[in-house]
A and B are shown apart, each in its own frame.
Chain A
Amino acid sequence: MYTQALNSSDGDDRGVEDVVRANQFQARIDADERIEPNDWMPAAYRKTLTRQISQHAHSEIVGMLPEGNWITRAPSLRRKAALLAKVQDECGHGLYLYAAAETLGTSREELVDGMLSGKAKYSSIFNYPTLTWADIGTIGWLVDGAAIMNQIPLCRCSYGPYARAMIRVCKEESFHQRQGFEIMVTLCRGTAEQKAMAQNALDRWWWPVLMMFGPPDQVSRHSDTSTKWKIKRFSNDELRQKFIDATVPQAEFLGLTIPDPGMKQNENGNWEHSPIDWDEFKQVLAGNGPCNRDRLAARRKAHEEGAWVREAAMAYAEKRKSRQLAQAAE
Chain B
Amino acid sequence: MATPNVPLWEVFIRSRNGLAHKHVGSLHAADSTLALQAARDIYTRRGEGLSIWVVPSNAITASDPTEKGMMFEPAESKIYRHPTFYDVPDEVGHM
Interface SS majority for chain B: loop
In the complex, the chain A residue whose C-beta lies closest to that of B62 is: A38
Interface SS majority for chain A: helix
- Docked-complex contact A89 and B5, CB < 8 angstroms: no
**Nearest CB of chain B from residue A122's CB, rounded to whole Å:** 17
- Docked-complex contact B2 and A109, CB < 8 angstroms: yes
Tell me which residues across on chain A come within 8 A of B25, comparing CB atoms. Answer: 96, 99, 164-165, 168
Tell me which residues across on chain A come within 8 A of B64, comparing CB atoms. Answer: 38
When each residue 290-330 of chain A gets 1 if its CB lies under 8 Å from chain B and 0 otherwise, what string results? 00000000000001000000110110110010000000000
- Of B1, B6, B27, B65, which one neighbours A314 at CB under 8 angstroms? B6
- Docked-complex contact B31 and A313, CB < 8 angstroms: yes
Q: A36: CB under 8 A from chain B?
A: yes
Q: How large is the interface on A (under 10, 10 to 19, 20 to 34, 35 or more residues)?
A: 20 to 34
Tell me which residues across on chain A come within 8 A of B7, comparing CB atoms. Answer: 317
The B11-32 residues at the A interface (CB cut-off 8 A) are 25-31
**Nearest CB of chain B from residue A45's CB, rounded to whole Å:** 16
When each residue 76-88 of chain A gets 1 if its CB lies under 8 Å from chain B and 0 otherwise, what string results? 0000000001001
- Docked-complex contact B31 and A95, CB < 8 angstroms: no
- Docked-complex contact A316 and B2, CB < 8 angstroms: no
When each residue 23-46 of chain B gets 1 if its CB lies under 8 Å from chain A and 0 otherwise, what string results? 001111111001000000110011
**Nearest CB of chain A from residue B59's CB, rounded to whole Å:** 14
Pick the 8 closest A-B CB pairs, nearest first: A313-B30, A317-B31, A109-B3, A317-B30, A99-B26, A314-B30, A38-B65, A92-B42
A-B contacts, 19 of them at CB < 8 A, read A39-B65, A40-B66, A85-B45, A88-B41, A95-B27, A102-B8, A102-B26, A109-B3, A109-B6, A113-B1, A168-B25, A310-B3, A310-B4, A310-B6, A311-B4, A314-B6, A314-B30, A317-B7, A317-B30
